[in-house]
Structure formats: structure tokens, C-alpha cells
A and B are shown apart, each in its own frame.
Chain A
Amino acid sequence: MQCEQVAELLPGLIDSVERDVDVEAHVESCLRCQAEVARYRKLLRAMTLLRTRYLEPSPSALVQTLAALEADLERGVARATLSGRRLAYAGAIGGTVATAATVAALVARNRRRTLGLAG
């Protein structure tokens, strides 16, 4: 295996749990590639340190986000109120239909009785 081939594979292997025995064998006997491995490790270590290198947002950014959350909450309450109203309307319509059906059934029964007596 050549150094160029190893260099090509190193970025993917440097923190991988998968092992490449050919690459490992080459690196073990090649000072140049050992140095390259060391450089990638240093690069990764430095990248990890970027996590706590914070970028400062402008003060208005947080205020705007909190305002957006507040607006979202209000929209949510409005939606819930609408849903509640819709349920109430649906219940009222359902009740009216049920009452009408009951009345119709009673009228029909009375008519049948009346017809029976007449017959």
C-alpha cells in the first residue's frame, strides 16, 4: 500500500470503529503516515474544542425568539378555543338531529296506532 492511498483513506478511518489492517500495517512502518495520523487527530481534537467557542448573538435575537414563542402560544390557545367551539357546534347539531329523529319516530308510531284502531 502506498502513502497516497493511505492519505486518501485516513479522513474516514481516523475515528472509525472499523479497522483496515492494510492501512494499519502501512502506518506502523511509515513515519510520514504516522505524522499524518497525528495531524488528523490534532485536527479532530481542535474541532471538539470549537464546541465551547461560542458566537455571541445580538441581544435582540433572544428577545425575538421569546416573542415568537409567545405568539405561538397565543395561536395555540386560539386554535384550542376554535376547536372547543367546533365541538360545541357539533354537539348542538347532533342533539338537534337526535331530537328530531325521536320526534319523527314517535309521530310515526302514533300514526300506526291510530290507523290500527281505525282498521
Chain B
Amino acid sequence: MDDRELIDAARGGDRAAFEELVRRTYRDTFTLAHRLTGNEEDARDVAQDAYLRAWRGIGKFRGEAQFSTWLYRITANAAATHLRKRRRHRTESLDDVNEPAERRYDSHPVAMAEAGDLLERLSVAVDQLPPKLRQVVVLRDVYSLPHEAIAEELGITETAAKVRLHRARRKLREVLGPTEELGASAHAV
């Protein structure tokens, strides 16, 4: 069965078809959840929650968007909910939960040296952004969701989403270092 047939079957209540979709998309969903939350444990919880929501809501999926995009939005919403809950249960602010990029670079120079190519360094830099900035830049620049969808799933205004994106890009630009280095590495991309 191809994905389209599986989606149609799942919409009709076919549990096995949905489980097959989970198997086929899990790595992608987990990767997004990991990029949004910044750690594996939260990513597992978020991915699980996303699939539970997807199963409950698959009857509403009309196929106007791609299934993957629909699932990205659900995952983004699940991650936002998860991070909000986690923030309520901790006294420190979310921005403090993940160490700032500069501290990690200082404390892991070997890891950074090993992270040789641009994509690897970029991946690390994204991971080290404050969660609020990270969520927006990942959804926009990595997964190409429109501003409107990002704002809706994260429960913020479109203006706030754009401001966070702007700040995130500036931080990534700083973290990636001098002009020549970025330019030279990006040619390989």
C-alpha cells in the first residue's frame, strides 16, 4: 500500500493502516520533536502525543495539505503544550533550561571541533537556541511552515512569531562565526 492508500484507510478507521503510517513517519516526527524540544526524552513524549492526536483527528484530515505537513503542525502543537507544562513544573524559566550556546561551546570545544561541517554546526546551534526562538526557526526555516500556521500551533500572534524568527536567525548567524568560514562551508552545501 502506498501512503495515500494508507491515509484513506486510516481515515476510515483502519487501525493497522494508521500504525503502518506511524512506522513510516516516526523518524521524521521524532526528529522534528527533538529539534523542537532539544532532548530525546521530551521528543519521545511529544512524538507519542502527536500520534495519539493524529489518530483521534485523522477523520478531519481532508488531504488539502500534505499528510506530513499536517503531522508537523500537530507535532508543533504537542511540543508547545509539552514545553508549557514543563515550564509550569519548574521554577526556572524555559530560557534557562537549555544552556546558552556560548556556554556549551566553551564547555565542549572538542565536540565543536568534531562538528566539522556547516550542517552539523548549524544543527548544534539550533539545538542551543532558547526554546521559544528554536521552535519558530525550526518550523519556519527547516520545515517551511507558513507564519500563520506557526503562530496558530504555538498559540502566539503572527507578529510575535516573526519577531522570534528574526531574533533566532540573528543568533544563528552569530553562532556560525565569521563571514569567510560560513561562506566557504556553505559552498559545500
A and B associate: yes
Q: Does A43 have its Cβ within 8 Å of any Cβ on chain B?
A: yes
Q: Chain B contacts of A42 at CB under 8 A?
A: 182-183, 186, 189
Q: Chain B contacts of A64 at CB under 8 A?
A: 44, 48
Question: What residues make up the interface of B, taking CB atoms closer than 8 Å to A?
Answer: 15, 18-19, 22-23, 26-28, 30-31, 34-35, 40, 43-44, 47-48, 51-52, 55, 118-119, 122-123, 126, 137, 141-144, 162, 165-167, 169-170, 172-173, 176, 179, 182-183, 186, 189
B48 touches A43 (CB 8 A): no
Q: Chain A contacts of B162 at CB under 8 A?
A: 12
B141, chain A: closest CB distance, angstroms: 4
The residue in chain B whose Cβ has the minimal distance to the Cβ of A73 is B15
B183 touches A39 (CB 8 A): yes
Return the contact of B30 from the options A43, A47, A53, A57 (Cβ within 8 A): A57
B22 touches A57 (CB 8 A): no
A51 touches B142 (CB 8 A): yes
Q: Does A11 have its Cβ within 8 Å of any Cβ on chain B?
A: yes
B166 touches A12 (CB 8 A): yes
Q: Does A46 have its Cβ within 8 Å of any Cβ on chain B?
A: yes
What are 20 of the A-B contact pairs (CB < 8 Å)?
A11-B173, A39-B173, A39-B183, A42-B186, A46-B118, A47-B126, A48-B141, A48-B142, A50-B122, A51-B143, A53-B123, A54-B31, A57-B40, A58-B40, A61-B26, A61-B44, A62-B23, A66-B19, A68-B48, A72-B55
Return the contact of B119 from the options A46, A58, A69 (Cβ within 8 A): A46
Q: Does A38 have its Cβ within 8 Å of any Cβ on chain B?
A: yes
B126 touches A50 (CB 8 A): yes
Q: Does A115 have its Cβ within 8 Å of any Cβ on chain B?
A: no
Q: Chain B contacts of A21 at CB under 8 A?
A: none
B179 touches A47 (CB 8 A): no
Interface SS, A side: helix
Q: How many chain A residues have a CB neighbour from B under 8 Å?
A: 32
A61 touches B126 (CB 8 A): no
Return the contact of A61 from the options B15, B18, B47, B166 (Cβ within 8 A): B47
Question: What residues make up the interface of A, taking CB atoms closer than 8 Å to B?
Answer: 11-12, 14, 35, 38-40, 42-51, 53-58, 61-62, 64-66, 68-69, 72-73
B123, chain A: closest CB distance, angstroms: 6
Return the contact of A47 from the options B19, B52, B141, B182 (Cβ within 8 A): B141
Given the interface contacts A40-B173, A48-B142, A65-B47, does A57 sit within 8 Å of B119 by beta carbon?
A: no
